Amino acid sequence: MRVLGLDPGLRVTGWGVVEARAGRLRFVDCGIVRSSLDDPLPARLAALYDALAAVIATYAPERAAVEETVVNSNPASSLKLGQARGVVLLAAARAGLEVAEYAARTIKRAVTGTGAASKDQVAAMVRHLLAGAREAPPDATDALAVAICDAHHRATALRLAAAGLAP
């Protein structure tokens, strides 16, 4: 199963694609989508959508996983981040992908074993699990962590279903 992990942001959105087969993870690719602060918000959102649509078309993931938004103390920043997150969800949904959402603590726990891990600890573990991700920029590393989290959760759900233990 090919999973697209997404770490939404208006200025920088990270993306990462992993292949999960037979309990193994393989790095496919990763990158970031940047938008210019000089462009009006609608143009920035359109550029984000177009870039993610191109990533989806190129790598043909079967699923997408998105990090949930953390609300910060600046309401305007939170609103803009929410709009970018909406575009990220829209791009995945319009491509027909099943989309899962995960809290930051859940992602950290899936990748490092603790929900209180630092960004550096998450990045180190992503690089350990995915050899091809050694040079990934921070936002792409975060997106790969989201994809790893989804792959682990999906594998567990499938094992439970096979054992007749799924709800």
**Does residue 7 carry a catalytic annotation?**
yes
Q: How far apart are CA 48 and CA 152, in angstroms?
A: 27
Catalytic residue among 29, 62, 68, 139: 139
- Under 8 Å CB-to-CB from 164, ≥6 apart: which residues? none
Catalytic residue among 19, 39, 67, 68: 67
Q: Output the pLDDT for position 121.
A: 96
Q: Output the pLDDT for position 166.
A: 67
* Structure confidence by residue, pLDDT tens digits, 2-50: 999 999 999 999 999 999 998 899 999 999 999 999 999 999 999 999 9
Q: What is the 3-state secondary structure (H, E, C) of 7-48?
A: ECCCCEEEEEEEEEECCEEEEEEEEEEECCCCCCHHHHHHHH
**Domains of the chain with CATH codes:** 2-162 (3.30.420.10)
What is the mean pLDDT of the segment spanning 136-161?
93
pLDDT band at 73 (very low <50, low <70, confident <90, very high): confident
Neighbours of 15 (CB within 10 A): 29
Two tokens at 121? 């600890």
* Structure confidence by residue, pLDDT tens digits, 98-139: 999 999 999 999 999 999 999 999 999 999 999 889 889 999
